[in-house]
Structure 1
């Protein structure tokens, strides 16, 4: 029986897609996995968890009360439990899955995502050889050992490990090497800029509603539609660019609310955009800087 009391779906059923079969093999090797929907991005949160109302899964950076059985919260939904992978709440996701992802940090790995030929050439010159997985535009270099994730550590290079997911593109070729200090140093550069967070943290905050936006001139439907579209745009950049997209979404919010008497609850909207960026692999400090800079670029009189 699965945790929700339903009967697991065996691999022989119609739900056992190629992605699920691969997921079960990876899970048996202690690699946490999750399905990706169309666009190669994580499935959106279920209604109970929409807009981070549940507080987030317990294994996310900001612990919450969520015990959701669905494929919620991006990378944090990844699991090695075959009962969960074949459970009824996950069945619809497998039927719609367009790709498979895994959680490198949970498997004790770091993925160096090299987005183009120039990035690959740089890695060959400066980094120790390791297992390589070819991608559509470049390569993934896999190292033994986890670390924090960081985007855009140099042109065309992202690091995916803790609090991030990587698309499964096959086992690759070559022998996996231990994580070198030279890769850890790349993330250190990004950490050198102190983050300037928005007012409230993702762990304890008020969701956007009229109680935090008493001076907003827009309708609730208008604001929520803009938020949903903005989050969708961020989710469309799982490989790279999610941080930049989060900046653009925040800048849009700031411009739309410039003429409002305020307050407009932009801090609550910002937290949802930060959460969306983190869900597709952007390190939280980086996501917060991007969103805060977008809001302050053309900041309205009332946030």
Structure 2
């Protein structure tokens, strides 16, 4: 059993709230992979089975904190294990996987970025950092570096350094943040009309799910985990995974009197598949088949 002090104590406290955590070495970087895991970057799946951020996805049986964000865990037995002890002894900070906890961090890297956020984004929980602020929203999305000058989006498949609990009430992830990672076409095809902004993204709440027997946390947690599974398939299998996620989520609502408003989360599942290379038409068909495979009063 590892002695519980310093950064490990903070990590265990965060894990109690369902936030997956891992140690960082000096310089805010994860600890390097163990010998068994280094081959995953060059020679194929590593001997431990790999974790789902590598080129070759799969369940990782490695006991050490390898593979960066994907090693993050809420399991106190893992966090206090011998395999993690040396890393905690040398740790310079604690990190967490925002998407794994159902959150998105808008990382504002300088004063100009902070000023922009205050003028543009809805207020939420705010955490001071070494050079700027972290604005934390409830809800997960794809991550992106350089979403705009001085602004990174940290959610799925990345880690964020823990700077403290911050202040303010956390609000739901707004469309204004999601829109930051919408890529503009550099050579758009000719069109009769030009959209001035991306379409409004539907969100799931009681206004669209008046007959659903589940609460918001249940639905959003299931969606977040499903999006993470799709994001873990950058090479292959994302389309079939999107189908499976849609089918699984629909299955949870078979006993609801309806409507459950599942069409409000359909677009997010499609977008997650498109983000890892699935053609949009294919992703749309796969998700529709997943929902239609289960008899549910979605609307």
Q: Is the 8 A contact 1:57 1:64 kept in 2?
A: yes
Per-residue CA deviations over 1:273-299 (Å, capped at 9, x if unaligned) read xxxxxxxxxx988xxxxxxxxxxxxxx
Q: What is the root-mean-square deviation of aligned Cα atoms in Å?
A: 2.3
**Structure 1 position 203, deviation (Å):** 5.6
TM-score when normalising by structure 1 = 0.58
The answer for unaligned runs of 5 or more in structure 1 is 1-7, 195-200, 205-282, 286-303
**Structure 1 position 188, deviation (Å):** 1.1
Aligned to 2:166, which of 146, 163, 172? 172
Aligned to 1:185, which of 175, 179, 183? 179
Match of 1:245 in 2: none
Distance 1:134 1:65 in 2: 35
Q: Is the 8 A contact 2:24 2:31 kept in 1?
A: yes
Per-residue CA deviations over 1:121-162 (Å, capped at 9, x if unaligned) read 000001000000001110000000000000101000000000
Aligned to 2:31, which of 27, 30, 43? 43
1:163 aligns with 2:157: yes
Match of 2:83 in 1: 89
The answer for unaligned runs of 5 or more in structure 2 is 188-232, 237-274, 278-299
Between 1 and 2, higher relative CO (CA 8 Å, sep ≥ 6) is seen in: 1
Q: How does 1:11-90 map to 2 (within 5 A)?
A: 13=3, 16-52=4-40, 53-55=44-46, 57-60=50-53, 62-64=56-58, 66-90=60-84
**Structure 1 position 202, deviation (Å):** 7.6
Q: Is the 8 A contact 1:153 1:189 kept in 2?
A: no
Match of 1:98 in 2: 92
Q: How does 1:286-297 map to 2 (within 5 A)?
A: none
TM-score when normalising by structure 2 = 0.59
Q: How does 1:246-261 map to 2 (within 5 A)?
A: none
**Structure 1 position 66, deviation (Å):** 3.2
Per-residue CA deviations over 1:162-196 (Å, capped at 9, x if unaligned) read 00000000000000010000000001137x579xx
